[in-house]
Amino acid sequence: MNDLASASVPGRTLRSRSAAGGALRRATPALAAYAAIRLLGLAVLAVWSAADGKDWHTLLTARWDSLWYTRVAEQGYGYTVQLPNGDVHSNLAFFPLLPWLERGLSALSPLSPADAGMAVAWSASLAAAWALYATGERLYGPRAGVALAALWAALPVGVVQSMAYSESLFTALAAWGGYAVLTRRWVAAGVLASLAGLTRPVGVAVVAAVWITAAVTLWLARAGGVRLQAALRAHPGMLPGVLLAPLGWCGYFVWVGVRQGSFTGYLDVQGGWGNGFDGGLAFGAFIWHQLSGPGVAAGIGLLVGVGLVIWLYLIGVRQGQPLPLAVYGGVVLLLALTAKGYFGSKPRLMMPAYPLLLPLAAGLARWRPVRCWLVVGLVAAGSAVYGAFWLNGSGPP
């Protein structure tokens, strides 16, 4: 009996490895499409930067937020900048998982922390593309999975996925966390949600997806006459997953609060950056200012863009998008649109909301391949040009 039990463990391990290998083989077209689109973006960026007298590598690793992440990796927390207007920018605003990975990878390799950040971002972006493929494949078939990964790569601000920023890492954790909820791997979902919560403030969206899906699952079971204990037994790992999910986000929030000597310490830090949540009042005022001034075209463009992302979200919900994806995408969108601060960052803040692209991916999957890839190619070319223009200009704040 003991021999049989011990023999079953290697058997399960082999089956698990075989399943993972099969999943990776199925995802290969999506990963190839994703890599091709991002390489096109990098090539255009390199040419544009050289013509503009700038270094593409510096733009990806040593500008804007990437400098703050690198400083955390090298020196830890505690660095602040006092601005002439009295605002205080503290590096406590930046969640720790990416700097931890930068520090660890640079300690184990010849890479500098900045280059380690870019390496993490490139690796994580491929992991995110794999998760997007797996999600699209599960919901609409393999072609939709490939289209979803390609569309995410070809977003107008997709170049951020190749920067030493935390968006790629966060999207990989969030997308695999969402897939874990879809497949009812509750413990994995909780761990991934906790890690996402250590990566960006919007990690709360992944926690919400885990919690609300678990609550609705139990509520439906109770409505069907199933006792709570029986419902939990029918979903092994649900309770540990729910308990694990918020640990990363709450842990960092509490740690900053203790360090700052205030329960609202992290919110105070964000306030020093001019960030926070006001229900969209500041964003609405910004759009109105554009519409009522010389920037009327920009204001109209903003209205169209906001309307488009809201429309995509509603279309996904109407098409029966699974609850964890609808919750996650909705929370990411809500937080991005209701936050105050620098409004040029909103496209970047919405980039992890990959469920918004599902209706488009499902639609493309029904087209003939030639037509589908012609459209994706044109979008990718536009993304590459815009990304190079953006990084050589104002860039992502």
pLDDT above 80: residue 2:
no
Residue 363 located in a structural domain: yes
- Write the pLDDT tens digit of every residue in 66-96: 999 999 999 999 999 998 888 899 999 999 9
Kindly state the average pLDDT of the residues 365-381: 96
% of the chain residues with pLDDT over 90: 82
Among the residue ranges 14-18, 28-32, 195-199, 247-251, the one predicted with the least confidence is 14-18
pLDDT value for 229: 93
Residue 10 located in a structural domain: no
User: Residues 356, 307: contact at Cβ < 8 Å?
Assistant: no
pLDDT value for 343: 76
Kindly state the average pLDDT of the residues 241-266: 97
Cα angle vertex 109, ends 103, 111, to 5°? 70
More confident residue, 110 or 282: 110
User: Residues 327, 212: contact at Cβ < 8 Å?
Assistant: yes
pLDDT value for 385: 98
% of the chain residues with pLDDT over 70: 96
pLDDT value for 85: 85
Residue 41 located in a structural domain: yes
pLDDT band at 3 (very low <50, low <70, confident <90, very high): very low
Residue 168 located in a structural domain: yes
Give the CA-trace dihedral at 30, 139, 329, 383, to 10 degrees: 30
Mean pLDDT of the chain, nearest integer = 93
pLDDT value for 104: 98
- Write the pLDDT tens digit of every residue in 224-252: 999 999 999 999 999 999 999 999 999 99
- Write the pLDDT tens digit of every residue in 137-188: 999 999 999 999 999 999 999 999 999 999 999 999 999 999 999 999 999 9
Among the residue ranges 5-14, 168-177, 316-325, the one predicted with the least confidence is 5-14
CA distance 329 to 316: 10
pLDDT value for 13: 66
Residue 1 located in a structural domain: no
pLDDT value for 11: 62
Burial degree of 190 (CB within 10 A; 0-12, 13-18, 19+): buried
pLDDT band at 14 (very low <50, low <70, confident <90, very high): low
Residue 116 located in a structural domain: yes
- Write the pLDDT tens digit of every residue in 111-150: 999 999 999 999 999 999 999 999 999 999 999 999 999 9
pLDDT value for 1: 43
pLDDT above 90: residue 297:
no
Nearest by Cα to 193 from 130, 233, 242? 242
| Domain hosting residue 76, numbered range | 31-391
CA distance 18 to 360: 32
Residue 362 located in a structural domain: yes
- Write the pLDDT tens digit of every residue in 306-320: 999 999 999 999 999
Backbone angles phi, psi at 82, to 5 degrees: -95, 120
Nearest by Cα to 124 from 152, 144, 143? 152
Task: Determine the distance from the C-alpha atom of residue 346 to the mean position of all C-alpha atoms in its chain, rounded to a whole number.
Answer: 13
- Look up residue 274 and give its amino acid: G
pLDDT value for 4: 42
Among the residue ranges 185-189, 256-260, 273-277, the one predicted with the least confidence is 273-277
Q: Count structural domains, the chain.
A: 1
Residue 14 located in a structural domain: no
pLDDT value for 149: 98
